[in-house]
Amino acid sequence: MTNITDGDLLLKNITAQAPFPICFADLEKAVAEKIEAGPFGYIRSGAGGEQTLRNNRAAFEKYSIVPRFLNDVSKVDTSVHLFGKTYPTPLLFAPVGMNGMVHDEGELAVARAAQFLNIPYIQSTVSTFALEEVALAAPSATKWFQLYWSTNEEIAFSMATRAEEAGFEAIVLTVDTVMLGWREEDVRNQFSPLKLGYARGNYMNDPVFTATLPDDSFESYVQGVLQNVFHPTLNWAHVRELKKRTNLPILLKGILHPEDAKLAIDNGIDGIIVSNHGGRQLDGVIGSLDALPAIAKVVHGQIPIILDSGVYRGMDALKALALGADAVAIGRPFVYGLALEGQQGVQKVMTNLYDELKVSIALAGATSVKGLRNITLVKQDGTEVK
């Protein structure tokens, strides 16, 4: 429970000694000026002509909040309950690979920020640091492991087992990246972080993976990762097999169709992440927020729904929560914070999102995350959507 009468949540940003970018556009601009075009383009861009990337933002802009007043909103409860634990805020760290591209401490810095803020951290398969290193760096953070299936599926099972042994509390199987999207900006910049070795963290120390390599040269590792990380055969039978091989709850990340959400429930999946991978996979795809209402209808509270792709403000989070998400995951914003100021930068970005969310919930006339479901949203044309 946050007491909103504590003071002006914005003031600490105004009196800050060293100003820090306050919104997504400012963050992006600052990072563009700080890091090289290759890594910056890799992080910023979407696939193809970036229609999906634009759809994500357009979807948020299409919905308007119709606030209610004269409720006492002095106390706002932003807490959320997920898989048996309560967190102070409905925000999560989306899995983002290869953090070593923008900061030497990479995922370690992000996981430490997650621990400090008590926000669940989802570590990517293609991280610069190994999951065991992250577990050591942030032992009390809630950690989930994002799994990319492997062509050699024993590698996938090995990683899932390692995650469980290292104290990770859920497996997030990403289903939208069976091959890499058509990323034109990376062609322009002639940039591949995979080829530079930024994705080796979890592979280097995997006994099943290393046993498949001809030698321990850098080139063999990189080739091994490339051969395994893309896995176009992935299907529901693999999901069922994974369920047998792990005791952890499984979430599917990248669900956009209500039928797939239904199949996830039918297959005993524990949660879904409505996402189009931040517009980085198939171009021309529905904005994730636009996909949410139909999915929320089918899921009907049976399993938690997390949404990502384009949540760049507290007010965006509010809209997703009002339309049926239980929590939202943040991608690029925290990566930009990491690039600018490491762990401190990640904390500043997430704290600003959280503070803006608190202010927005209160100003919309609600006093809790659940209460947002009663807030009226209208679409651009004025039609009431809920």
Ligand X SMILES: O=C(O)C(=O)c1ccccc1
Ligand Y SMILES: Cc1cc2nc3c(=O)[nH]c(=O)nc-3n(C[C@H](O)[C@H](O)[C@H](O)COP(=O)(O)O)c2cc1C
The residues assigned a catalytic role are: 277
What whole-number distance in Å separates Cα of residue 192 and Cα of residue 85?
38
If the CB atoms of residues 94 and 137 are measured against ligand Y, the closer one turns out to be 94
Report the nearest approach of ligand Y to the CB of residue 215 (Å).
26
The CB-nearest residue to ligand Y is 331
**For ligand Y, how many residues bind (rule: CB under 6 A)?**
21
Q: Does residue 337 belong to the site contacting ligand Y (CB under 6 A)?
A: no
Q: Does residue 177 belong to the site contacting ligand X (CB under 6 A)?
A: yes
Report the nearest approach of ligand X to the CB of residue 12 (Å).
33
Among candidates 228, 77, 200, which has minimal Cα distance to 129?
200
If the CB atoms of residues 135 and 199 are measured against ligand X, the closer one turns out to be 199
Q: Note whether 337 and 350 are within 8 A (CB).
A: yes
Question: Which residue in 131, 159, 229, 369 binds ligand X (CB under 6 A)?
Answer: 229
287-316 residues in contact with ligand X (CB under 6 A) are none
Report the nearest approach of ligand Y to the CB of residue 308 (Å).
4
Question: Which residue in 143, 277, 348, 358 binds ligand Y (CB under 6 A)?
Answer: 277
Question: Which residue in 308, 316, 326, 341 binds ligand Y (CB under 6 A)?
Answer: 308
Question: Which residue in 41, 95, 304, 314 binds ligand Y (CB under 6 A)?
Answer: 95
Q: Does residue 123 belong to the site contacting ligand Y (CB under 6 A)?
A: no
Backbone angles phi, psi at 207, to 5 degrees: -60, -35
CA angle 122, 123, 126 (to 5 degrees): 140
If the CB atoms of residues 253 and 366 are measured against ligand Y, the closer one turns out to be 253
Residue 308 contacts which entry, ligand X, ligand Y, none (Cβ below 5-8 A, type-dependent): ligand Y
Question: Which residue in 58, 194, 204, 294 binds ligand X (CB under 6 A)?
Answer: 194
Contacts to ligand Y by CB under 6 A: 43, 94-97, 124, 126, 146, 174, 253, 275, 277-278, 280, 308-311, 330-332
